[in-house]
Every structure is written in structure tokens, then in C-alpha cells.
Amino acid sequence: MRKSPISLLCLDAYKVSDIQRILNYADALEGGKDSCANRMNGKILCPIFLQDSSRTYINATTSFIRMGGTALPLNMLNTRLGSGWSEPIRDFCTLINSCCDYVIFRSPTAEELFEFAKWCKVPLINGGNGSGKKSDHPVQALVDLFVIQQNLKHKPIKILMLGGKHIRTTRTQVKLFYRYGFDIDIISPSSPVCNDDMDSFYKENTTEYDNIESVDLSTYDILYHNGMDENPSIKSPENYVITLSKLKETGFTGIIMHSLPRLNELEHAIDDTSYNMYYTQMKKAKYVFQSIYCFLQEINER
């Protein structure tokens, strides 16, 4: 058995200095000031996605491959963990521990991640675990902060978060942005699932409004929409929808961010405007992933 690894399950346990170290190295990689082309030679990444994914899965695997490593072609149905067999996590982890070097894990419930981490003896990255209480998406929040730091140099930054505050991305983003001194406002309906581990944080560190008509959009640097729920059948009501005409009418001059995928909450007419930063988020995520792999490699091989 290997010693307990240092993993990336939640950013709360990371110092701001370590978070900034990851972001700074991602910037160096993008700018060509450093290279990680061979850092993962001979290493194997096991992507375990028990819930659908596009951006996280593709960025996690291709980034690792570009570093010289190998990513196993796993999905929900071709393992006995995610199929109808429902293989015990400890059994599956025993296999992973002997064959793989890194794992990125996504699950539809928050607790599955922690059960997996209990038995996993290789560095583990949380690719999104459930929604509501104990859920997080640390990589998405790091990508977002990376993009924000590159595009908005002034401080403090004022951000309006729209959508479900129980969504794992929102929960992680708000905590991280607060640590970096952002002025955070939220427009969100009542949480459909238990979210009580964040209730006091939202109340003490953010200002909440009823709908997008309740605020002056021109005062914000960023509008960030995460949609209403992880359930793709739940669309945004009209007073939560961002349209191009609404941005122009209110004099908004900042940027629009979204973790994607989207439903109706973000009008496609915004795609080809200077407001659009959500495509940039997708394009730059690979550098953050590569920096995370390098960070975990360095601290686990000391």
C-alpha cells in the first residue's frame, strides 16, 4: 500500500499561496515560459466519470496525454463500478492503486467521492461530486480564477452569480472568489436539495437578490451564470435569462462567464460579442489541468 497521497478534493484545504502557485504555473505554460511535455512519461491517468461530462473529461485526458502520459478510455458503462454490477469502491480502488498513477473522479452524489478517496492511494482530482451539501468542483473554479486574473487586473472585482447556489460549481467559486477579495452578489432561487453547509457563508459574505431586474448590471465586472440545476430538464425562468438586448440596455461593459453546458439561460446572440468569456474558459482549461498535474506530482514525490 502506498502512503496517503495529497489530492485535490476541495480548495478549502489549500492555502492561497498554493492556489496562486497553480495559476502562475498555468500562465507560464500558456506563455511558453515553461514546458511540461514529458512530465507524465510512463504515467497512467484513470478517468472515472460516473456522471456525464464533456469539458472536464476532454480537458483532463487530453492535457495528460500532451504531457506524455496515457489516459485510460473508461466511461460509466465499461467498468463494473459504474455499470449494473455496482462493484464495491474498495475492490475497484485496489485495482486502481496497483495499475494507475492519477485519478480524476466525477460522481452524481457528493459522498461517493469521499468513499473513493478513503481507499484510493494515488493522487485524486475531484472532477465534480454531486450537488448541494459537501459538493465541489475545484478545477472549474481554478479555471475561472485563471481567466479572471488574466483579463481583469483591477481590484476589487464585482461579480454577480446567477443560478442555483446548490450547484457544485457555484459553491466552489463563491468560496474561492471570496478568499480573493471579490465583491459577490447572488441571484438564486431556493435550493432544491440540502445545502446547509453553505447557508451561513452566503448570508455573511454575499448579498442576495430576487432576480436580474433587481440589480444594476452596469455596476458589475462579471456576470457568471451556472444554470439553475444539474438536471438538464430544469430551464431558467425569464428573469434569470441573460440576453444581448438586456446587456446593451443596462449599459453592461464587463464579461459573461459560464461553466457550460447551458440551456436557455445564456442567449446565443452573445457568443460573437466581446462579452463572451465562456469560450475562453474552455480554451484555457488545459493549462490549468496541466499545472494541477505538475503540482500534485511535485508535492507527492518529495
Pick among 3.40.50.1370, 3.40.120.10, 3.30.70.2740, 3.40.50.1820: CATH of 140-282: 3.40.50.1370
Predicted local distance difference test score (pLDDT) of residue 185? 98
Looking at the chain, the whole-number percentage of residues with pLDDT higher than 90 is 91
Predicted local distance difference test score (pLDDT) of residue 86? 82
Predicted local distance difference test score (pLDDT) of residue 81? 83
pLDDT at 82 over 90: no
Predicted local distance difference test score (pLDDT) of residue 186? 98
- Mean pLDDT in the chain? 95
Greater pLDDT, 83 or 229: 229
Predicted local distance difference test score (pLDDT) of residue 155? 85
- The domain locations on the chain are 11-137+286-300, 140-282
What are 129-169's pLDDT values in tens digits? 999 999 999 999 999 999 999 999 888 999 999 999 999 99
What are 196-234's pLDDT values in tens digits? 999 999 999 999 998 898 999 999 999 999 999 999 999
| Fold exhibited by the domain 11-137+286-300 | Rossmann fold (3.40.50)
Query: What string of DSSP letters covers the chain?
Result: -PPPPP-BS-GGGS-HHHHHHHHHHHHHHHTTSS--TTTTTT-EEEEEESS--SHHHHHHHHHHHHTT-EE----SSSSTTTSTT---HHHHHHHHHHH-SEEEEEESSHHHHHHHHHH--S-EEEEEE-SSTT---HHHHHHHHHHHHHH--SSS-EEEEES-TTSHHHHHHHHHHHHTT-EEEEE----SS--TTTHHHHHHH-EEESSGGGS-GGG-SEEEE--S-SSTT-PPPGGG-B-HHHHHHHT--SEEEE-S--SSSB-GGGTTSTTB-HHHHHHHHHHHHHHHHHHHHHHH--
Predicted local distance difference test score (pLDDT) of residue 1? 37
Question: Model confidence at 34, in pLDDT bands (50, 70, 90)?
Answer: very high
CATH topology of 11-137+286-300 equal to that of 140-282?
yes
